[in-house]
A and B are shown apart, each in its own frame.
Chain A
Amino acid sequence: PMSSRTVTNIATEQAVNTGPMFPPLQTYSEEETMMREAVKKYAQERIAPFVSKMDENSSMDTEVISSLFEQGLMGIEIGTEYGGTGSSFFSSILVIEELAKVDPSVAVLCDIQNTLINTLLMNLGTEEQKEKYLMSLATDMVGSFCLSEAGSGSDAFSLKTKAEKHKDYYIINGSKMWISNAEQAGIFLVMANADPSAGYRGITCFIVEQNTAGLQIGKKENKLGLRASSTCPLTFDNVQVHEKNILGKVGQGYKYAIGMLNGGRIGIAAQMLGLAQGCFDHAVPYTKQRVQFGKRIFDFQGMQHQIAHVATQLEAARLLTYNAARLKEAGRPFIKEACMAKYFASEVATLTTSKCIEWMGGVGFTKDYPIEKYYRDCKIGTIYEGTTNIQLTTMAKLIDQEYDS
């Protein structure tokens, strides 16, 4: 017979707090609070006026991009010695959340730069690579991360782009798809297989500069949402890359991708969170103004219950996201929590935006109001940087291990 066993999750139940107090999760350092305020103000004044036009034209305004750099938002964790801001991962999360409240497309550009590109270079770069690229990434150069291909999305490691070794350089041939920031990027971190016979253990990360011969950026996708963020196919036609542009070690690319996507996941959770909150913040005031049958539509119990339900989901998404970020900063295990945050926040964004359109009625359905854009933008949240199914599978694997006897 099965005896009852108590299960102890060491990471969440026995983690020692060395401070005298156990502050609520929504507790921030002074620096974090100031950053949030500064980004909120900046986003409202320097990004908001461009949002609708950028969405319509499917194009990110260059003014917006350069102001992101000016404000120090593109090199948040990069050290000051490289011209970066020298702040923390949690600060990045707050920045992404605040940007997403105004424009999720701008938020994703900032997210990819900080959580994927900068992180990879800071953690794996040689001194030479850091000197060469980090300062540019902090001050004026956008980076792009190239993993997915037409034939490999969730099944990322079955990628077909090859890198053939010749003396001290590699020749890369293949193609990539769904590459964000591609139109703006000055460097591309490209996952290519340097040893297909070894399967995924041949995947290697190459730093490819934008003007390299043979690298072609295809026509950007005409997307449902996140339209201002350029998403393009890339072709590599005998692209020559020196071996000193390998990031980390040959054949370790798959490890780096997984490791970095764990953190990137929290960034996307923050983006979805900001998106949902921004949408909610637009819709609720409307329900307090709109009067039908002699009272505000907010005063109808049916509306109140829906609004309270969505607010609860938002709060839960926020706590999951912030906690995953704090766990990562604390150097504690965070993979399961990061998956939970991304999965939950993207689902909450879908629910919130859908409900907000309903609460706004007919005007919610028109482009004169910002609501419909949030609705279109949220859909990619359950798909990119690990589909919901992948998140759930990853969580299940970890839960399986937790209950191993």
Chain B
Amino acid sequence: MTARVLVGVKRVIDYAVKIRVKPDNTGVVTDGVKHSMNPFCEIAVEEAVRLKEKKLVQEVVAVSCGPQQVQETIRTALAMGADRGIHVEVSGKDYDSLGPLQVSKILAALAKKEEASLIILGKQAIDDDCNQTGQMTAALLDWPQGTFASELVIEGDKVKVVREIDGGLETIKLNMPVVVTADLRLNTPRYATLPNIMKAKKKKIANMKPGDLGVDMTSRVEVLRVDEPPQRQAGVKVESVEDLVSKLKEAGRI
């Protein structure tokens, strides 16, 4: 019986917010902007909590890397049903340059420390859309990975994952311990009920630093510039197919 699931949760700008690029083009405006848990991380938490409710796992541990504010995100995971949280403190320059490589090193170290046999992550974050952390974490641990999961079933010491791929659905079977990344259709996350929010207050969040886990936070990536996507140009209406073809030729498209 699997003991422990590690779930990574990331604090990102809320999906409904209109993103604004900073005037100096070094990034996007985050001050005073609403943040929430990455939607794919919510799906990951929900899946872990469901496994616990089915008594297939014993404990769900929610992890987040970042400054003080990420505790809100961990608390939300606790309110959804995670048992305890781990806050890995990363702030300042380290937080600005925090990316999948460092996070996956942290998660790998924690998985060993916590003796987790299952790691569930969102497939990607909606701010950087990297889609790398799950894969890197599995590689660092030398664990099998089931990414873009739309279904997850634990069968003894194996995990069956149905993956959403370009050609359709792929079903694979993996030996535990594994890393799974959640895709949109894996489940519909629950709302935290008010009683669960109250219960979450009593659950513990442990604090630690990347150094405690022996993780090097140096980034291999430097962001040079952030720009808004180009403005959508107005379209042109055409009267006939001939017109369309000639206009496309004019624009050098065909």
Contacts and interface: CB of A to CB of B under 8 A. Distances in A.
B194 A91 contact: yes
B198 A38 contact: no
Contacts of A71: 191, 193-194
Contact of B193 (A30, A33, A37, A38): A38
Given A80-B198, A85-B198, A34 B75 contact: yes
Interface in B200-220: 200-201
A35 B194 contact: yes
Nearest to B197: A34
A329 interface: no
Interface string A3-20: 000000000000000000
A142 interface: no
A36 to B, nearest CB: 10
B197 A86 contact: no
A170 B200 CA distance: 46
Contacts of B75: 30, 34
B195 A85 contact: yes
A39 B193 CA distance: 8
A81 interface: no
How many chain A residues sit at the interface, stated as a range, is: 20 to 34
Contacts of B36: 37
B80 to A, nearest CB: 10
A80 B198 CA distance: 10
Nearest to A91: B194
B120 interface: no
B27 to A, nearest CB: 25
A169 interface: no
A87 interface: yes
B72 A72 contact: no
A91 B193 CA distance: 13
A297 interface: no
Contacts of B200: 34
B133 interface: no
B104 interface: no
A70 interface: yes
Contacts, number: 49
B192 A34 contact: yes
A41 B36 CA distance: 12
Interface residues of B, number: 15
A31 interface: yes
Nearest to A138: B195
B76 interface: yes
B191 A38 contact: yes
Contacts of A80: 195, 198
A42 interface: yes
Nearest to B194: A72
Nearest to A69: B193
A191 interface: no
Interface string A31-55: 1011101110110010000000000
B90 interface: no
Contact of A41 (B191, B196, B198): B191
A76 interface: yes
A226 interface: no
B79 interface: yes
A73 interface: yes
B180 to A, nearest CB: 25
A324 B82 CA distance: 36
A38 B194 contact: yes
A41 B14 CA distance: 13
A45 B191 CA distance: 10
Contacts of A35: 194, 197
20 contacts: A30-B72, A30-B75, A33-B72, A38-B191, A38-B192, A38-B193, A41-B191, A42-B191, A45-B191, A71-B191, A71-B193, A71-B194, A72-B195, A72-B196, A76-B194, A80-B195, A85-B198, A86-B195, A87-B194, A87-B198
Given A73-B194, A84-B195, 11 more contacts: A34-B76, A34-B79, A35-B194, A38-B191, A38-B193, A38-B197, A39-B194, A76-B194, A85-B198, A86-B198, A87-B198
